[in-house]
Amino acid sequence: MTLDRDALFIGGTWATPATDAVLEVVSPHSEEVVARVPEGSTGDIDAAVAAARRAFDEGPWPRMSPAERIDIVQTLSGLYAAKLDEMATIISTEMGSPISFSSLAQAPAPWMQIEAFLAIAREFPWEATRPGALGAEVVVCHEPVGVVAAIPPWNVPQFTILSKVIPALLTGCTVVVKPAPETPLDGYLLAELLVEAGLPEGVVSIVAGGRDVGEHLVRHPGIDKVAFTGSTAAGRTIGAICGEQLKRVSLELGGKSAAIILDDADEAAAIEGLKFLGVMNSGQACVAQTRVLVSRERHDSFAAALAAAIGGMKVGDPLDPATEIGPMVARRQQERVASYIRIGQEEGAQLLAGGEGRPEGLDRGWYVRPTVFAGVDNKMRIAREEIFGPVLSVIAYDDVADAVRIANDSEYGLAGTVWTADQEAGLEVARGVRTGTYGINTYTMDFAAPFGGFKASGLGREFGPEGLAQYTELKSVYLSAPPM
């Protein structure tokens, strides 16, 4: 099966690119080219936005009833469910996610999003009449925000595409998706499913390209809202552009989440949980629990046990079902993570597992060794900056209040966990930590509930009714008072 493409998905059809530029998709495992696809240009973005603008301003999609749009998205859901295995394999091939993670999350979670948003849309108050303060009734309407620019990252490409595309579609918006240049292949499989689902012309375009193409899309006067997932640095730039243009924007950005281990926690269960939550997707996850906070009395024993568990994880070919840690997405990311491992040692943290150098038996691929530092001070760079690789920092706290203080001593506020035998104690900790999502003895995203961050972790929310509402504008219609 070839993964090559020779066309772009513009306005719901496969179109000839405006230039001959090509993106080479390189396997992070073999360092070999696995596919070639057209590289979108600013001209292609202009064509995609024009198609989306026509479809929104003149086409049937925003004028359909919510029930009609729900029916088409329900068809898409069925088509998507039949492609989960293929989608998982494509994502593991293009970005190196272990197939165990892709089969668990990279492909099924986007489909679960579709189903959750469908359920929410069926109950959503598209129009609601309420009594006014002046004696007459008011009709409050949720109307589509317009043409949406959806910009996902490379680490969980389908997850972040559909977190934007599905609520946009259900509300009646049209969408231009700009996938990351590292991960264009899964987006084009989605395009095939959108065609098969029967979306009207112009409603969705998918044009992969680099940063300049993304900035052109954000600045485009035909765009009404930008929905972005990625780094905080890029989010600041996008937010500034949208603020200048008074353009609607939602930003899901970085994290440096803390897992607080209370003294009554089951150590084995906490470590087993952190094997997934700390280094999920090879550490390339914004919600990864990378700061592990342990009481000073338990610090040494817990850190040693965590290092043994993380250091023993299988690193290797992402398509091997036994692999737990795959490669970094690109050489630059491998070098970035390696530089933070050096920084941690230079700052005086104690290296208990991993470190610089290739994992044993891997002479190619963009791999790093899963790494655990102990004796970390929360002021160290490895505790403050998002590394985006399999690197954990164990930090000692004096008491629970100190643990909460350390957890909050971060520019980020995306996620976090507390591990304890006492759920009420866990809830008390959760209430004190300034993050948008939190877990007690676990962490997950429930698609019926809002997801997003405090502080530099972003603006707005995804999922739940709150996430659907991000793609609407509110209109109040004042009805005249009945005659006396």
Q: Is 182 a catalytic residue?
A: no
Q: Which residues contact 58 (CB under 8 A, 6 or more apart)?
A: none
Residues 452/462, Cβ–Cβ less than 8 Å: yes
Q: Which of 252, 324, 386, 462 is catalytic?
A: 252
CA-CA distance, 115 to 113, in Å (whole number)? 5
Residue whose structure tokens are 């995804």: 462
- Reply yes or no on whether 141 is catalytic: no
Cβ density class 148-157: b for 16+ within 10 Å, e for less: bbbbbbbbbb
- Residue 296: what are its φ and ψ, rounded to 5°? -55, -35
Q: At residue 44, what is the residue type?
A: D
CA distances from 468 to 142, 175, 240, 454, 473 (A): 10, 14, 24, 19, 11
Distance CA(477)–CA(129), nearest Å, equals 9
Identified catalytic residue from 94, 182, 242, 286? 286
CB 481 within 8 A of CB 134: yes
Unique residue bearing structure tokens 């008074």? 246
Residues 322, 328, 331, 335, CA torsion sign: negative
Active site residues: 252, 286
